[in-house]
Structure formats: C-alpha cells, structure tokens
Amino acid sequence: MKPLISLGITSGEPSGIGPEVSLQAASLVMTSLSTLDLPFRLALHIYGDEAVLAQAAKVVQLVPQFTHWLRASETPIKIVPIACQHVVQAGQLNVQNSAYVLRLLDEVLTLNLKKQLDGMVTAPIQKSVILEAGLGTINGVKFSGHTEYLAAHCNHSDVVMMLMGPTLLTQTEVSEWLKVALVTTHIPLHQVSSGLNQATIVNKIKLIHDDVKKWLGRPPHIAVCGLNPHAGENGHLGLEEKTIIEPAITQAVSEGFHVSGAYAADTLFIPRNLKGIDVVLAMYHDQGLAPLKLATQGNGVNISLGLPVTRTSPDHGTALGIAGKGLADPTRGVMRHQTSPKKPKRTLSGHAPNKQLGQNFLVDQSILHEIVACISPQPDDLMLEIGPGLGALTECLLPKLNHLWVVELDVGLAKRLERHENLTVFQGDILQFDFAKVLRQEQPEPLLRVVGNLPYQISSPLLFYLMNWADRIKDQHFLLQKEVVDR
C-alpha cells in the first residue's frame, strides 16, 4: 500500500476567507490528485469551528461534502472541530477570537511535532487583532506573523520566509518557478538596515541551500539583492552593500555555496536576468514580494524554511471585503507545493499540447476562477464541457455540480479524465457528437449549458453546429481566440 501523507489545515481568521478557501481548496486538491498516479495517498484534516465551517460550506455550495467530511469515519478529507467561543461575523473582526486563531496553530503544530501529521497548511490570519489582544508573544518574541510565531514555538531562531510560484514563462516546471526568500520579514522599513548583519545573511543562505537542494537535486544558485537603489552605486547611495551584504556573499561562496550579488533589485527581476537563478534573496518584505506577486498573479505559495515541520500557506490575506460572499479564489497555490511529486523536474501535466488537434491548455488559476464565476454553475445544471484537455476547468466545475458531461477528442486525455467521480466522458469529435446522448439521460429534460476552451480550427464550425440544438441549449460560455471573436 502507498504511504499516507496527512496534512493539517488551519482555517485561519474566522471572519475572513480562510474557512471558505480551506474547504474549497481541499476539495479541489483531492479532485485534481484523483487523476494522477502519485506515489502516496493523501489525507487532509481541516481544523476550525464547526458552525463557522458549516456556514462557509453553505456559502461555497459544499454542504453535502462538508456533512460527509464531518461525520464519516473513513474519508480523505476530515473536519476536526475546535470551538470558537465568541461571535463570528464575516468581514467583521472580533479581537476576542484571537485566542481561537492561535489555538488552531498550536494544535496543528503540536501534532506535526509529534509526527501525527506530516505538514501544515495555514489559511490567512489578521495580525492586527492578535496584537491588539496582546497575544502571541513567545520567549519574548512579539507576534508578527505565522513564520515568526511558529519559529518561536519550535525554539528555532533561524528560519526563512520564502514564496514561490509559476509565472507566465514558467507555468509547469516546479523547479523553474520564481522563488523569493527574505532576510527580514514583518518589520517597519526604517528598521531594515539595523536588522541586517553578515551572520544573518549567511545563515539564510545556508537554510535556503539545504531545503531547495532537496527539491532540485542539485545545489541552488542564490542571487542576493542589495538594499539600496542600484545596489548602493559603489557606496555612493548607501554602505550596507559594502559593509554587510557583499562580505556575507564572499563568506558564503568561500564555504561552497553557489551565491552571487549584490544585485540591484529593480533590474534583477527582469525575466532574462533571472535565467540560471534558482532563488532570489531579498533584504526586506516588499523588495522581494511585490515583484513575485506581480509575476505570479497571486498564485504564490508561502513556505517556511528551517522549521522542524513542513508549513505552507497562500500568498494572500484575510480579504475581509469579500468574506462570506463566495467570491474567494480557492485555486491559489495553497497545497500545491506540499502535494507535488518528489521529482519536480517532471511537468505537472505530463502531457504536451498536440498542435495538430489545436490543443491549448488553461493554466492560469486566476483566469479559471473568473471563468467559473461567469458561468456560475449550480448543482442541478445539465452541463457539457467541450475539449476539457487536462481538466483544469473541469476540476473547478465538478465541486459545484452534481454531474458533468465532457467531450474530448484526445484518446489519452479522455482516459485520464475517466478517473473523476460524477463525470461522464465521451471520447470523440464534438462536430459529430449527438447531443441527445446527454439530453436523453435527464428526465424531465432541462436545457443544456455548454462550456469549453475551443481549438482555433473548429471554433466557427462548432458555433454553427450548435445552432442545430438552439432550442435545447440554455447558454454557452466559450474561450475563443481574439481573431475568431473579431471575425
């Protein structure tokens, strides 16, 4: 039997989007992994208040699944109730709930340290209310975020906050994702310079090297940013490069690490300048994370290096403005890193687009989320997807539907899709497909909803073909090349 990996998910600030995205992301991850032959089995344990999670399940239309996860003894997703004693209202912070938020972290961390869990995924928390409550200080270390809190709990002074994610140029190869680590984290900007010293930078380099080497199978090339504009302009715009950063780089190189710099941060993040670089080490929070979040379009994963446990989180906050409205994006990279195969050099899909079939695969999770929002699928919809390909849109639709029908021309891709539950796969040419196959299975017969990412060469013929079924079709949502739309 394949080994079991169990991850604990803390649902985060109860008035934010954490409860919603925890449930949705868990559902999407399990659906996605069901199509892959991975060397392990996965179990997800979601920790949070039962009533809060139940309300979140209602908002994101996962009530049947939530009830099963809560009550069933054997299920890959399990709800672990931890009571929140005070009032929770979506979008409205309550300082009294700060102790509950920290209790979620403490519980899951303790289980990881006891080896009863194999990793932890943390939904967003609101730092301000924890500080207002006067909580989170451990061993004299004031609370400033997940990374620092967990490090203090584990009595690890040296940890690294690193974010990574796919960019438009590196959508599939995990090894090529943009990775940005930080020397300083959640401190005011005017304290950054005094927070830098040679020993700290060298220690960060060592921690990055040790962890990232495990994923790449080779020593990583770490590019170090300067602190000042133009990396100090040879001392004319600041001395930290000459007195702290460059000596740290020299020491790290002498100790055998593949390190270069100090680089001007305003030009280092240009894609051509990142070639051959595995990790960028930035001096402070916004220097590194602003370009990363722009490049990854919100699909980044926050990873804590140097801890005795594996911890990841999404790169977004509590999003109080959309909490409780079902607008949160569950497709961000929450568990992508922890559930990726051991050999990241392999593409996540394992399938290259077939140009003869006009294949083009959706990979941008934020665009997928917008598409699903436009479609607004309802559980009882009779929906047919044309050309699902790798199943990116399929996996976003399935949790919201009781059943989905798809038509896929590629024999290999159709076979992969058959692993999904609540999915009927028709392998063949959509231009020869008899829509009555779907319509006859529904009594009484509702109107059909049709969606798809259409290959260029069949877009026009298909639109005309669908006119034959116009009286039986409720609506259609397609991704089309701009040239087709203009024509």
| 72-105 pLDDT per residue, tens | 888 889 999 999 999 999 999 999 999 999 999 9
* Alpha-carbon torsion (421, 422, 428, 429), positive or negative: negative
> Is there a binding annotation on residue 255?
no
Q: Rounded to whole angstroms, how far apart are CA atoms 143 and 129?
A: 11
57 versus 141: the higher-pLDDT residue is 57
CATH fold for domain 1-156+307-343: Isopropylmalate Dehydrogenase (3.40.718)
How confident is the model at residue 433, as a pLDDT? 83
How confident is the model at residue 418, as a pLDDT? 77
CA dihedral 203, 208, 214, 219 (to 10 degrees): -90
Task: Report the SS3 class of residue 415.
Answer: helix
Instruction: Specify the CATH architecture of the domain 356-486.
Output: 3-Layer(aba) Sandwich (3.40)
- Residue type at position 34: S
Interval 253-267 mean pLDDT: 96
- Residue type at position 395: E
Give the residues across from 404 on adjacent strands: 423
pLDDT band at 148 (very low <50, low <70, confident <90, very high): confident
How confident is the model at residue 172, as a pLDDT? 46
Report the number of secondary-structure helices (H) and strands (E) in the chain: 17, 16
Interval 17-37 mean pLDDT: 84
Q: Is the pLDDT of residue 405 over 50?
A: yes
pLDDT band at 440 (very low <50, low <70, confident <90, very high): low
Phi/psi-derived region of residue 98, left when phi > 0, alpha when psi is between -120 and 50, beta in every other case: alpha
How confident is the model at residue 28, as a pLDDT? 83
Q: Which of 221-235, 386-400, 427-441 has the highest mean pLDDT?
A: 221-235
How confident is the model at residue 361, as a pLDDT? 60
Give the residues across from 482 on adjacent strands: none
pLDDT digits (tens, 9 = 90+) for 382-403: 999 998 887 888 888 888 899 9
How confident is the model at residue 377, as a pLDDT? 92
> Is there a binding annotation on residue 302?
no
How confident is the model at residue 360, as a pLDDT? 58
Q: Do domains 1-156+307-343 and 158-302 have the same CATH topology?
A: yes
The answer to whether the beta carbons of residues 174 and 133 sit under 8 Å apart is no
Q: Rounded to whole angstroms, how far apart are CA atoms 268 and 215?
A: 23
385 versus 439: the higher-pLDDT residue is 385
Interval 347-365 mean pLDDT: 49
* Domain 158-302, CATH: 3.40.718.10
Q: Is the pLDDT of residue 32 over 90?
A: no
pLDDT band at 2 (very low <50, low <70, confident <90, very high): confident
Angle at 310 between CA 305 and CA 314, to 5 degrees: 80
DSSP secondary structure code for residue 221 in this structure: P
Residue 73 in tokens: 């003894």
Which residues make Cβ contacts (< 8 Å) with residue 169, sequence separation at least 6? 271
CB 298: neighbour CB atoms within 10 A? 17
Phi/psi-derived region of residue 97, left when phi > 0, alpha when psi is between -120 and 50, beta in every other case: alpha
How confident is the model at residue 334, as a pLDDT? 47
Q: How many residues does the chain have?
A: 487
> Is there a binding annotation on residue 362?
yes
> Is there a binding annotation on residue 408?
yes
How confident is the model at residue 362, as a pLDDT? 62
Domain boundaries, the chain: 1-156+307-343, 158-302, 356-486
H or E, element range at 257: none
Q: What is the mean pLDDT of the chain?
A: 86
How confident is the model at residue 352, as a pLDDT? 46
172 versus 151: the higher-pLDDT residue is 151
pLDDT band at 359 (very low <50, low <70, confident <90, very high): low
196 versus 472: the higher-pLDDT residue is 196
How confident is the model at residue 349, as a pLDDT? 42
Q: Is the pLDDT of residue 165 over 60?
A: yes
- Residue type at position 469: W
Give pTM, 2 decimals: 0.66
Q: Rounded to whole angstroms, how far apart are CA atoms 263 and 245?
A: 10
Q: Is the pLDDT of residue 209 over 90?
A: yes
